[in-house]
Each structure stands twice: as structure tokens, then as C-alpha cells.
Amino acid sequence: MKKSSSISRSERFARKVSADVAQFTESISFDWRLWEYDILGSIAHATMLQKVGLLSKKELRAIIRGFDAIGKEIAAGKFKWNPALEDVHMNIETELTRRVPASGKPHTGRSRNDQADLDIGAKLHTGRSRNDQVALDMRLWLRDEIVLLLGEIADLQRALVTLGKKNSDVLIPGYTHLQRAQPVYLAHHLLAYVEMLERDCERLWDCHSRVNVCPLGSGAIAGSTLPLDRVFVAKLLGFVDANGKPQLTQNSMDAVSDRDFAVEFCAAAALLAVHISRLAEDLILWASTEFSFIKIADAYTTGSSIMPQKKNPDIAELARGKSGRVIGNLVALLTLLKGLPMTYNRDLQEDKERLFDTADTVRATTRLMAAMLRNTKINRAACAAAASDPAMLVTDLADYLFQQFLTPRTEAVAHELLYADQYAKNFDPKAKFDPATGKTNHPIELPTEAQEDDLLCPPHQIQASLERFKADRSVFKSEKEFLKRQGTEAVQNYYRFWLKRYGVNEGICRAKTRAYLRMRPYHKLLETTLKSCMTKHGISEINSQKFKMHAYNNTVFAQDFFAEVSKKGCAAPKEDVIGHTLLLLNKKKGD
């Protein structure tokens, strides 16, 4: 009887699964997007296995070369995903196993089965389960998604501030119960959303701290008897706090079944979506003929299939509608988790589509809302006409009466307010008011223009709020935190260097940048050691290609170089030493 060829099924099963079952259980159709994080996590795991003696240096080099080739194929869209292998993890691991046999070279003329017991690629799964591997990949992916979302929220904040700044003198009615209440400055209204978004940023950074915890090494449920170095892996992958302390999960059973971090992100994203939905609702009302406060550019509106006069604010309407989708994803995740026994269950495969969709939706919505606001104009005349409604000054009138008489008779004030419309329209400054009788019998001085500014939200306060976001906080909290975690301008330039030179996916660029931050203190050491070894071995000039050949062929020159680097205190993995020495050589060429 033919046995299953699927590694995920193992040799325990005598038959392959049916086509319907394979289609029902596969997740490669959506979890393929974790590929870069799966490769990064696998390289870190392999590096750790070599460090603790479970892989040789030669095997590690072969594995890394195999991953590099696979990663380039995936990035170029040339990799063939196989649904029979269920998910991204098995697809990549199986391909690595096929490509990297015991010799470290591709298979040539020998069947896969002949080499099954010799393949180096298969050793990669040593000390690791798909359970902790999935948890790791999701955390790596979400960690980067949060940072990207924070940047997009900051951009939406900028768009709101810019619109408010350009129209800082525009008054509009403020509403309660969708009824005109009191006049406010347009900028004041827009800045309310900036504050909401700032709280969203704070929640997301708080969530980030709990996402940024390394679960690798937890195994399927109870860890491993192998001498795994979890701290080393956490440092390689950047799972450290602001002080550089490694962040590790403390309970293996919790680590493989925990999806709190996903729920927490979806909850923060749902609240962000609600805030954007509220903003969208205001914009939809303001763009209507009944309000006509704003005009949205044609590029961000649509027409009607039958009514040529229509100009519909579809972007804002979809932003409002998509909040329900994001809230639904949160409820779906909570429902998914509520009845699960410990620990990992296949139900958890259903978490990814909800998580991916939430991140995609809020990021796209945030970006488009920012772009739409930058292409929105204020109808000053319509705003001024609406804000001139005298009935909206009733509260200010009540405050004035209290200031005039200190202990006003409630019925007297109520009487004046009850007829506020007529009072405001037919006000006679020579009339007199007797607080004892509640009748008008002495002059009332209405607030001056300066006093009205104080009764409203005054321009100087609006200006101060605008400047707080524009000048004093030239970058928002989220961006400051991003720069703090990502490093200096030099590090940002290094990140862009990878994007420009290799066109690598952003996730890999960030991983390389984190490696750069770890290696940066050793750059001078690498340069001086390289020069001394060149002098010792009579080498007058060396380029990156020659150095690579020396390093990977383990020449006497390379042995001396690595020995000296290690002796002088650089404890980084050999692959990092090679990579950053090559970087230094390439930079000298002006690459």
C-alpha cells in the first residue's frame, strides 16, 4: 500500500487524505504571506542549533544558502506553492529538504527517497514543532504590521492637523443629538479626532510589547530535552525590551496556544476602525447638500449609474462600513478561543484570516482617509452661515446672566432662554432687566468680541493645539517610538540601502536592520582586523567577492580573521560577521 508523501502526515498514515479533506484543511492559500518570517525564524533556529552543537557550521551555511535561494524565488513570484503540503511552513521546509542534502549541494540524479535519511534540511525541525513555529511567525509578522500601522495613523493625524491649520479661523456649529448646540472652530472639531488617534497609537504600542515575546523553544506542548538556547534566538530576532533584555514566554503550554496578542491587536484595531467610522460619518454629513461644509475631490468620490447630478462620498462610506468587518473579526476570534481546551488545537488555523483581514482593512482605510482629507476643501461661506445661527449662543447668554447677577433666579434665566430665538433676533440693547421680577427693565451688555472668544473655544487655544501637534511634536508619539526602536538616521539609511540594492521584502530589511544594530559596535573591529589579516597574509586588496570565497571556503586567511574577531570580543554568529564585513566592503565601493 502506497504511503503518504506528505511530511505533515508522517509515516504513521497508510493512505493519503482525500482531495476534499486536503482542500478543507489547507491554509497555504492565505498563510503564504508569512513566508519571510518563517524563513527568518528558521534561520535563527538553525543558527542556534549550530551554536549548541546540533548542526555543523557547514550544515548551517548550506541551510542559509538554501533559504536565500527560496526567499528570492518567493519574492520574484516564481515559487510553486503546493496545497498538498497544507501550509507555508511545510512548503518551505519541504523545499529546503529537497534542495539541501547531506553534501550541502542540490540533488543531481538521485531520488528524493534515496536521500531521505541524509538531508541536512530535514535537521532544521530539530527541537521545534509547528506549534511554536506558527506562534513565532505570527508574532514576527504582527510586530512589523503594528509599526507600519502606527506610521499610517500618524499620517492621518498630520492630514487632520494640516486641514485644521489651513482653516483655523473657520467656525461651524457643534452638534449634540445631531442638533445645533454651540459654535466651535473647525480645527477644534478635527483635533478631537487627532486625540482619539493618539490614544489608538498608545494602545497599539502597549499591544506591541506583548506581541514582542519569543515563543520558540516551547515545542509542541512541553518544550524539548535538547539544550536549546532560547535567549540567543530571542536576541537574534529582536525579541528584546527597551533595555535590551530578552523577552521569552514562560510557560510552554500557554506559548503554543496563546492568541491573546492577536485578540488584543484586533480589539485595538476595532476601536481605531470605530474612530475612523465616526470621522467618516462627519465627513459624509458635511459633504451633503444639506450641510455643504466641505467639497471632496473627484478622485475620492463616485457618481450614480442613473442620476448624473450625484457625487457620492464612497471612500468615507466604505470606511464607515468596514468598521463592522473589523469588529466582526474581533468577535470571531473571541468566539474561536472561548471553548478551546489546552493547548494547541487545529481550530487556531482560523485565527490568521481574521488577523490578516483586520490588519489589511485598518491599514488601507487609514491610508485612504488621510489621502482624502488632503484632497478636501472647506466651503467657508456655508460654514459661516451655519455658525451664525443666534440660537447657538443661548448657553453663552446663560453664563452671561449668571456673571451679571451671581445668584440668578432660575425662572428668570429659564424665561430668557425659553424665548432665546426671539430674544437674540429682537434684542434691544437699551432694554432693562429686573432680576427681582424677572422682567427686562435695565440695559444688558452682551459679551464683547474678546469675551465671545473666551466663551467659545478661542483662536489662541486652537492655535496652541495646532502648534502642539505641528511644532512641539514634529513627530507624533508613535513615530518617536518607531525611531527610538529602529535607531538613528544612519540605521534608516541602512534599511533603505537593502531596499534599493536588493529589492528585498520590507520584513527581511527590518530583520537585517536589527542585525545591523547588533553588529554596529563591531564595525571598527571588523575593519581593523581585516586590514591586519590582509597584511599578515600579503593580500594588498580584497573585494567582497574575494572575501566571500575566503570565508565560505574556510581558507587559512578566513580562519585567522574569524579567530582574531572572536578573540577581540565579537561573539556574533559567523554569518553575521561575514555579512557585515561584506557590507563594509560594499560601502567602500559606494554601493
- Tell me the catalytic residues: 177, 304
Query: To which H or E segment does residue 181 belong?
Result: strand 179-185
Give the 3-state secondary structure of residue 57.
helix
Partnered with residue 173 across adjacent β-strands are 183
Max Cα–Cα distance, the chain, nearest Å = 110
Following CA atoms 424, 430, 431, 434 in sequence, which dihedral angle do they give, to the nearest 10 degrees?
Answer: 120
**Exposure letters 373-393 (e unless 16+ CB within 10 A, then b):** beebebbeebbeebbeeeebb
Cell numbers standing for residue 53: 552543537
The C-alpha atoms of residue 138 and residue 132 are separated, in whole angstroms, by 10
Q: In 3D, which of 145, 133, 144, 45 has the Cα closest to residue 86?
A: 133
Which residue type is seen at 464?
A
DSSP state of 470: I
Query: To which H or E segment does residue 574 belong?
Result: helix 574-588
Following CA atoms 246, 251, 253, 254 in sequence, which dihedral angle do they give, to the nearest 10 degrees?
Answer: -70
Cell numbers standing for residue 244: 535590551
Helices (H) and strands (E) in the chain, counts: 25, 4
DSSP state of 109: S
Q: Which whole-number Å values give the CA distances from 584 to 522, 524, 525, 567, in the listed order?
A: 11, 10, 11, 20
The C-alpha atoms of residue 270 and residue 286 are separated, in whole angstroms, by 24
Q: Are 98 and 112 in contact (CB under 8 A)?
A: yes
Q: Are 362 and 272 in contact (CB under 8 A)?
A: yes
Which residue type is seen at 119?
D
Interstrand relation of 171-176 and 376-378 (parallel, antiparallel or unpaired): unpaired
The C-alpha atoms of residue 590 and residue 520 are separated, in whole angstroms, by 19
Q: Are 256 and 343 in contact (CB under 8 A)?
A: yes
The C-alpha atoms of residue 181 and residue 392 are separated, in whole angstroms, by 6
Q: Are 478 and 204 in contact (CB under 8 A)?
A: yes
The C-alpha atoms of residue 389 and residue 374 are separated, in whole angstroms, by 29
Which residues touch 65 (CB under 8 Å, ≥6 apart)?
100, 104
The C-alpha atoms of residue 383 and residue 286 are separated, in whole angstroms, by 10
Q: In 3D, which of 288, 307, 287, 308 has the Cα closest to residue 296?
A: 287
Interstrand relation of 171-176 and 294-296 (parallel, antiparallel or unpaired): unpaired
The C-alpha atoms of residue 256 and residue 205 are separated, in whole angstroms, by 23
Q: Strand ranges (DSSP E) for 254-357?
A: 294-296
